[in-house]
Amino acid sequence: MLRRGPEFDRGCWRLGRARGRGSGAESGNWRMRGPMNGQNAGPRASRWKTSSTLDEQEARNTFQIKWPENYQGVAPLMGQPEVLGSYSVDEDRKFLHDESQLDFIDMEYLPVDGEKKVHMDLNKGMDKFIDFSGGTDDSFRSLLQWILSNECILKTHKSSSKLDADFISVRKTFSKIMGTPYCIRDTWTLSATEFKGSIYMKMYTEVENVENHEVDPQVKKLSLYGHKFEHFMKGGKPEENVVANEEYRCVLRMKVDQISLIHASKLDFADPEQFEEDFKDLNGFIMVSCAKEVKTPFSMKSYKKFKLNQWWIRGILSGIPRCVIGYRNDDGIVHTLKLLKTDEIPMMAEDEWKPNVCINFFVSFLNFVKSKVREDPTAVHRFHRKPKGNIHWSKLPSSSHMTLLPSWFTEQLFSSKDTKNDCE
């Protein structure tokens, strides 16, 4: 399974500019507490089906994806993520409860004045490349392994049998949901179930839903470019081996309004000048990404609407304040590095998307998931999103429960005597 490559998300449809009135100062208020306003629909909102035109049963089981204008208004408070712990994944995708995969950025590639000229040939050393073989299942499994070893710090209180989280997943799940209002051709399937008061979620993209799929060679090459770029950014040599399977992840807890989230976030690099042991936030970390050079007005519009939105969502969910972007040409040569600040990215987008829309949609959908899952907490619930369509809910047979939460997790959580003693 390949991780997302550095190219634009091809599942995103090029929507026109939103016509709602929530631009300017309002769009910058996504950290302020306030009521969600989903009533001020733009002139195009009438093109979507409403509950009155749907069958009553279908309406109850459908989350309608409306135009972004429907999610205008001041967004609920989005709290700063708190670091709970970390773990590593080695080249064989084996879970390690340590910091062995923690990497530091090479300060030579950290632009001091916001931009730096370089020459990185991403094609070199491809014959030694060890491709990424992981996917949603093993990433989710690693998070569950970490939770079992750290249930004490996750509980609402020492004697509790409930984790202090409404939703638990990996960052990719939450990122996909937040970007949905602007990527209406995306296809994904979300599975969710409740266990001991928390809702566990696992998301599959369209490619992951297709067995024995063949990856487009061009898409694969772009993904390899992304891993090779990361190799350069930590000071790796062009001819050295690149191992895409290795990861370092932090487990974070945050709140969006009154909803508490726990997620595992993949980290790229720490800043050696700002990194501190026993860190409680990710201010000392840096995201990196590789993108194609922007040369035309059309590609600039796409860059602002999709790439900037993607980077902002990753940064805001992780609490990482900076990212370094490498801009490559068609031949895979990176000539320019730019330093972007997460909080300034929405202004760079110039109203192609709005933070408050992403957050309001996110909260609205999570509340929908919670309402459906708690109708039958013992079942696995499926939320399927079709291209240019709504999100449809269905309930899987009870026998499917173990396909989401394995028995080794459900049988061991809150049952270990050693762990209980450690909590006291």
**Cβ atoms of 122 and 328 closer than 8 Å:** yes
pLDDT at 424 > cutoff 90: no
Whole-angstrom CA distances from 22 to 356, 362, 404 are 9, 17, 39
| Inter-CA distances, 384 with 202, 233, 320, 330, 369, Å | 12, 37, 30, 35, 12
What pLDDT, on the 0 to 100 scale, is given for residue 18?
36
E strand or H helix at 317, and its extent? helix 308-318
Please give the torsion angle defined by the CA atoms of residues 316, 20, 260 and 382, in that order, rounded to the nearest 10 degrees. -110
Confidence (pTM): 0.84
Angle made by CA atoms 146, 80, 257, in degrees to the nearest 5: 100
pLDDT at 250 over 90: yes
Alpha helices by DSSP H, listed for 54-135, are 56-60
The DSSP symbol for 260 reads E
DSSP tag of 20: S
- Measured CA to CA, the distance from residue 36 to residue 71 in angstroms comes to 8
3-class state of residue 120 by DSSP: strand
* Contact status, residue 193 vs residue 199, Cβ threshold 8 Å: yes
Integer Cα distance of 186 and 190 in angstroms: 13
CA gap 24, 321 in Å, rounded = 22
Classified as helix, coil or strand, 265 is strand
376-415 residues labelled b (16+ CB within 10 A) or e (exposed): eeebbbbbbbbeeebbebeeeeeeebeebbeeebbeebee
Give the range with max mean pLDDT: 34-48, 229-243, 323-337: 323-337
Summarize pLDDT for 30-83 with one digit per residue, the tens. 443 444 444 344 444 434 445 455 588 888 899 988 888 889 889 998 999 999
pLDDT of residue 206: 62
